[in-house]
Amino acid sequence: MGSWVLALMVAVTGNGGDAESSYAKAYHRAQEENKPLVVLVGADWCPACQVMKADTIEPMKKEGLLEDVVFAHVDRDADPELASKLMGTATTLPQLVVYTKGESGWKRTAVSGLQSRGRVRDVIRKAMDALPLPRK
């Protein structure tokens, strides 16, 4: 995905509610710190989303396994426009989207459905490996 598209998403969503503001802040922080941006798109009514958030993402945060990325959560119902842009053509929730900034712009990787800690770790590791050195 081109950096202009990612920047447009921030411009469109950067001055709204909490979820929008959280995403915009995460995007800017990812750029400033040259870290991958990891976004979990889910919904409150989605059992798999709640399990992934509570049993996968939160423990990984507490254990420091997400220190090398910038994380944001987007609720599809609270911000359907942003969620749609992040998810692309996929419809399955939850969706974990990872953006990495390389020499030719932002690259998007996504996995849909309930993911294990190991799978999330693998997706993030691949994103980290794609970053040009040196990183901050």
The two structure tokens encoding residue 89: 């053509």
Quick check: 75 pLDDT over 70?
A: yes
Q: Residue 76 — very low, low, confident or very high, per pLDDT cuts 50/70/90?
A: very high
One-letter amino acid at 41 equals V
Question: What residue ranges do the domains of the chain occupy?
Answer: 3-130
Per-residue confidence (pLDDT) for residue 104, from 0 to 100:
82
For residue 70, give Cα distances in angstroms to 1, 47, 61, 63. 18, 24, 11, 15
Across all residues in the chain, what is the average pLDDT?
83
Nearest residue to 101 via CA among 11, 16, 5: 5
Q: Which CATH architecture has domain 3-130?
A: 3-Layer(aba) Sandwich (3.40)
pLDDT tens readout for residues 113-131: 999 999 999 999 887 787 6
Candidates 129, 6, 106, 119; CA nearest to 52 is 119
Angle at 82 between CA 81 and CA 86, to 5 degrees: 120
